[in-house]
């Protein structure tokens, strides 16, 4: 009704809007009504960051960021996030390939399991990891008895927690494009004499590269931001398990300026990550 009203109004007033003459195609208009909630949504995402920026003391930034605790946290975050991303690639790529080739109920079941960390509150994930690898958990007990190794509250626990929460991002991204792909290239490669392994390494993998890159970047970003599972499973020990998000949390109780400075650092990293990942994922789809 609003549409016909507008059209009649425009025609009646004879007010034909100045058209472009630049050869662009004419898009079907976006209903104006949608602009209000859209603006609210944008504000909800953007304004808190503006608030953070307004509160930041930029002159003290170098000093705040170069404190011993901040540097430790930054170093630990970069190392653990890199390691967990690597683990996600090494384990996640084969998982995605196997999942993409698994049809039926089994496939659906496996996919649900893989997605679990994505929907589970990270704290729950951390608790679950604790009861697997803790001294009371069956794997933890086994490791303790056989190798004398204790996982919880170590840097290894941080990597495990990050891998746990980040894995689905890589697997889902890859599996999606694996399933969406036409297998024609692989079939042609086979008729040209390529064995399955050759087809996988020389045709399937290169074709998946865009999805792998964007999946990896997302995976790294998720690992870098990991908080709940880490604090539950690995604790918050400076230099050992206290990553950047944990440091922000710790500082927010004592030194708020420092916490804000670190938050800003995380925002910068996030923006860089989005900048790298977004065009790739678009290219991967086209």
Partner 1 sequence: MNPGGGLDATVEVTRGDFRLRADVGIPPGGVLAVLGPNGSGKSTLLECIAGLRHPHGGSVTLGDRTLTDVARGVHIPPHRRGIGVLGQAPLLFPHCTAQDNVAFGPRARGAGRAAARKVAREWMERLAVAELAARKPHQLSGGQAQRVALARTLADEPGLVLLDEPLAALDADAGPAMRAVLGRVLRDGDAARCGLLVTHDPLDALTLADSVIVLSDGAVVERGATREVLAAPRTPFTARIAGLNLVTGRAVAGGLRTVDGAVLSAASCDGVPVGSPAVAVFPPGNVAVHPGHPAQGRGAGNHSNSGSAVVESLEPHGSVVRVRIGVPHDSPEHAWVAGLTADVAPAAVAELGLEPGHPVEVAVPADAVGVHEAFTGRS
d(CA 232, CA 269): 24
Smallest Cα–Cα separation from 270: which of 41, 116, 45, 90? 45
Q: Which is nearer to partner 1, 50 or 188 (CB)?
A: 188
At its nearest, how many Å lie between partner 1 and the CB of residue 234? 40
Q: Which is nearer to partner 1, 212 or 229 (CB)?
A: 212
Backbone torsion region of residue 24, taken as left when φ is above 0, otherwise alpha when ψ lies between -120 and 50, otherwise beta: beta
209 binds partner 1 (CB under 8 A): yes
Q: Which is nearer to partner 1, 93 or 269 (CB)?
A: 93
Q: Which is nearer to partner 1, 187 or 278 (CB)?
A: 187
Total chain residues near partner 1 (CB under 8 A): 18
d(CA 150, CA 142): 10
At residue 5, what are phi and psi to the nearest 5 degrees? -60, -45
At its nearest, how many Å lie between partner 1 and the CB of residue 201? 11
Q: Which is nearer to partner 1, 47 or 192 (CB)?
A: 192
User: Which 8-state DSSP code applies to residue 27?
Assistant: P
d(CA 111, CA 31): 37
Count, residues in the chain: 286
Q: Which is nearer to partner 1, 24 or 286 (CB)?
A: 286
282 binds partner 1 (CB under 8 A): no
d(CA 252, CA 220): 24
User: Binding pattern to partner 1, positions 12-51, x when CB under 8 A?
Assistant: ----------------------------------------
285 binds partner 1 (CB under 8 A): no
At its nearest, how many Å lie between partner 1 and the CB of residue 99? 23
Q: Which is nearer to partner 1, 9 or 206 (CB)?
A: 206
CB 226 within 8 A of CB 243: yes
At its nearest, how many Å lie between partner 1 and the CB of residue 195? 6
d(CA 114, CA 126): 16
Among 206, 239, 275, 279, interactor with partner 1 by CB under 8 A: 206
* H helix runs in the chain, sequence order: 2-13, 35-55, 61-65, 68-100, 104-119, 122-133, 138-147, 155-180, 184-191, 196-199, 205-225, 228-233, 244-254, 256-285
Q: Which is nearer to partner 1, 86 or 207 (CB)?
A: 207
d(CA 127, CA 204): 37
User: Binding pattern to partner 1, positions 166-205, x when CB under 8 A?
Assistant: ------------------xx-xxxxxxxxxx-x---xx--
At its nearest, how many Å lie between partner 1 and the CB of residue 216? 18
Q: Where on the chain is the footprint of partner 1 (CB under 8 A)?
A: 184-185, 187-196, 198, 202-203, 206-207, 209
């Amino acid at each position: 009704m609003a549409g016909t009203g507008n059209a009649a109004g425009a025609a009646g007033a004879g007010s034909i809007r100045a058209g472009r003459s630049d050869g662009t195609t004419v898009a079907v208009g976006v209903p104006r009504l949608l602009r209000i909630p859209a603006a609210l949504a944008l504000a909800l995402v953007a304004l808190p960051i503006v608030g953070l920026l307004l509160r930041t003391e930029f002159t003290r930034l170098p000093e705040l960021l170069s404190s011993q605790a901040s540097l430790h946290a930054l170093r630990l975050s970069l190392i653990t996030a890199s390691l967990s991303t690597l683990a996600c690639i090494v384990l996640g790529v084969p998982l995605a390939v196997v999942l993409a080739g698994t049809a039926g109920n089994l496939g659906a079941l496996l996919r649900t399991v893989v997605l679990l960390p994505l929907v589970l509150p990270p704290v729950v994930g951390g608790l679950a990891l604790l009861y697997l690898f803790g001294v009371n958990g069956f794997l933890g007990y086994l490791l303790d008895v056989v190798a004398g190794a204790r996982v919880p509250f170590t840097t290894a626990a941080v990597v495990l927690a990050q891998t746990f929460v980040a894995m689905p991002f890589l697997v889902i991204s890859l599996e999606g494009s694996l399933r969406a792909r036409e297998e024609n290239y692989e079939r042609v490669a086979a008729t040209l004499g390529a064995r399955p392994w050759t087809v996988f390494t020389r045709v399937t993998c290169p074709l998946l590269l865009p999805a792998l890159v964007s999946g990896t970047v997302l995976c790294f970003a998720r690992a870098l931001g990991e908080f709940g599972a880490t604090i539950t499973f690995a604790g918050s020990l400076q230099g050992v398990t206290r990553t950047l998000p944990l440091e922000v949390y710790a500082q927010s109780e004592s030194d708020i300026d420092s916490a804000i400075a670190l938050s800003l650092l995380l925002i910068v990293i996030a923006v860089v990550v989005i900048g790298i990942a977004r065009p790739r994922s678009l290219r991967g789809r086209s």
